[in-house]
Amino acid sequence: EAQVTQNPRYLITVTGKKLTVTCSQNMNHEYMSWYRQDPGLGLRQIYYSMNVEVTDKGDVPEGYKVSRKEKRNFPLILESPSPNQTSLYFCASSLEASSYNEQFFGPGTRLTVL
């Protein structure tokens, strides 16, 4: 089944404890992206990747890191999480980094930072 998976789905952590949210897609997509969703603000792009070893900042990259060592994986790293990073996170992928490709989303990761 073609899909985007994220792990963990739910995470409660404490300020300053490094964490990684994994994202994997099995559709051989070139483009992958991370978003956070907060009430009233919609989906905001954190980082995106156009292909292996090619990543760039979205609108809200502060406090996050990403890597793209393999085509299928695009982990999101929070080196020192803070309470303002409490949010719902979505990973997405699309066939190419083109204006014309829809994005396929993972099921989301609900993160709480205490």
Chain residues in the site for other proteins (CB under 8 A):
31, 33, 35, 40-45, 48, 50, 56, 58-59, 88, 90, 97-103, 105-108, 110
Identity of the residue, 19 or 50, whose beta carbon is nearer to other proteins in the bound complex: 50
In the complex, minimum distance from the CB of residue 30 to other proteins, in angstroms, rounded to a whole number: 10
In the complex, minimum distance from the CB of residue 93 to other proteins, in angstroms, rounded to a whole number: 12
Question: The tokens of 96 are what?
Answer: 């190419």
Please give the Cα distance from 49 to 30 (Å, whole number). 8
In the complex, minimum distance from the CB of residue 9 to other proteins, in angstroms, rounded to a whole number: 11
Torsions phi, psi for 84 (to 5 deg)? -75, 0
- C-alpha angle 28-31-35 in degrees, rounded to nearest 5: 125
